């Protein structure tokens, strides 16, 4: 296909480019991904509309270029889009779950349905689709005037904005819908449709995440690899990973709780006997264990001491006797630091030393 350039406008590192013909499928139209490929040596980064693109390099106006389409991407889009039609149709037919919207991303696709479905119902839906795929049912592309199209018992009503001829995608015995997107020629090309997650979203809808074709195979390969590595790490068969992980998590929680008690005991001892960490008569500085540093203020007499701790690359200063915001503002004005807080606690990070903090507090 030849593409003739109408206008080019640079925006940041890319070029918003208009062409003379409406030749490309836009990103997001009908929930589908848009076209990709190269026009000349310029890569398509986004399709804004059928005749407006975002390109990686500048092209000459009123000049024709060859379009080299990313056909692998287009095939993937066709698989995911047809899978959505089949998934929506089966859910609607079997569980009266109507698809309100569809969105395809580079990694997965989603549909939002108007009711909640159980895991068992989704599992049964996948089984039905798998059996349908084995039947090698063709995907037909039809064209009809709108007045005729509305009589075809479409799964989703045609928008009032649509006029003239309507493109219809028919999967005999499964689905018939108005659609302008890409589709496969036969549902056998889907190979498999797998739901991977569901969640409740705004408006009382259920969002279902799904994969089809090579995306589903790649996901299976990735998860198989993860389970294989976990099996080696945990020294157990794959089918025992959950039980082993639950057991380890229980032990981890017990150790975490024990560590919390030990930390509190250490904080208590330091708070009651701070002599080792007193740098000035009322300045207590603790730069050591992070867990202790994060909790020491709870066990320190902040009416007697100004406490400085160092944890995670930043200093924290605590006091109930002095307003610390003045110290923070002074440090910000004199040194390359960032921070925030209130009169009793401030946090500071940047090019600063404990000695600078001591001097700022003494002043």
Task: Say which CATH architecture domain 2-69 belongs to.
Answer: Beta Barrel (2.40)
pTM of the model: 0.74
Distance between CA 215 and CA 106 in Å, rounded?
10
Percent pLDDT > 90 in the chain is 69
Q: Which fold has domain 264-362?
A: Diaminopimelate Epimerase; Chain A, domain 1 (3.10.310)
Average per-residue pLDDT for the chain: 92
Distance between CA 269 and CA 29 in Å, rounded?
65
Q: Considering Cα of 132, then 99, then 102, then 204, what sign does the dihedral take? A: negative
Domain ranges of the chain: 2-69, 74-219, 264-362
pLDDT digits (tens, 9 = 90+) for 289-309: 888 888 889 888 899 888 999
Work out the angle at residue 312's Cα, subtended by the Cα atoms of residues 294 and 255, and round it to the nearest 5 degrees. Answer: 55
pLDDT of residue 163: 81
Is CATH 2.40.50.140 the classification given to domain 74-219? Answer: no
**Alpha helix (H) ranges present in 96-166?**
119-133, 146-149
With 0-12 / 13-18 / 19 or more C-beta atoms within 10 angstroms meaning exposed / middle / buried, residue 204 is exposed
pLDDT at residue 15 is higher than 90: yes
pLDDT digits (tens, 9 = 90+) for 310-352: 988 899 999 998 889 988 898 888 888 899 999 999 999 988 8
């Amino acid at each position: 296909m030849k593409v003739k350039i109408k206008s080019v406008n640079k925006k940041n590192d890319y070029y918003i480019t208009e062409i003379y013909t409406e030749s490309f499928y836009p990103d997001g139209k009908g929930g589908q991904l848009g076209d990709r490929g190269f026009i000349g040596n310029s890569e398509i980064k986004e399709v804004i509309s059928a005749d407006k693109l975002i390109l990686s390099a500048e092209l000459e106006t009123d000049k024709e270029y060859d379009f080299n389409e990313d056909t692998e991407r287009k095939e993937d889009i066709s698989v995911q889009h047809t899978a959505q039609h089949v998934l929506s149709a089966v859910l609607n037919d079997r569980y009266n779950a109507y698809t309100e919207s569809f969105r395809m991303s580079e990694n997965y696709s989603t549909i939002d349905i108007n009711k909640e479905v159980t895991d068992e119902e989704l599992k049964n839906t996948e089984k039905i689709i798998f059996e349908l795929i084995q039947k090698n049912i063709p995907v037909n592309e039809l064209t009809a005037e709108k007045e005729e199209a509305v009589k075809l018992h479409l799964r989703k009503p045609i928008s009032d904005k649509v006029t003239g001829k309507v493109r219809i995608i028919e999967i005999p015995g499964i689905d018939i819908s108005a659609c302008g997107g890409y589709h496969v020629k036969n549902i056998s090309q889907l190979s498999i449709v797998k739901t991977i997650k569901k969640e409740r979203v705004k408006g009382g809808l259920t969002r279902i995440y799904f994969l089809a074709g090579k995306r589903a195979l790649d996901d299976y390969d990735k998860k198989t690899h993860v389970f294989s590595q976990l099996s080696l790490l945990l020294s157990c068969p794959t089918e025992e990973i959950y039980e082993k992980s639950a057991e380890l998590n229980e032990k981890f929680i017990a150790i975490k709780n024990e560590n919390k008690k030990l930390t509190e005991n250490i904080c208590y001892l330091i708070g009651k006997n701070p002599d080792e960490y007193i740098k000035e008569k009322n300045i207590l500085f603790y730069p050591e264990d992070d867990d202790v540093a994060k909790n020491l203020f709870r066990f320190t007499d902040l009416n007697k001491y100004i406490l400085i701790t160092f944890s995670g690359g930043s200093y924290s200063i605590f006091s109930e006797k002095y307003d610390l915001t003045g110290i923070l503002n002074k440090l910000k004005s004199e040194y390359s630091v960032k921070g925030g807080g209130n009169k009793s606690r401030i946090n500071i990070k940047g090019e600063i030393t404990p000695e600078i903090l001591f001097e700022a507090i003494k002043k």
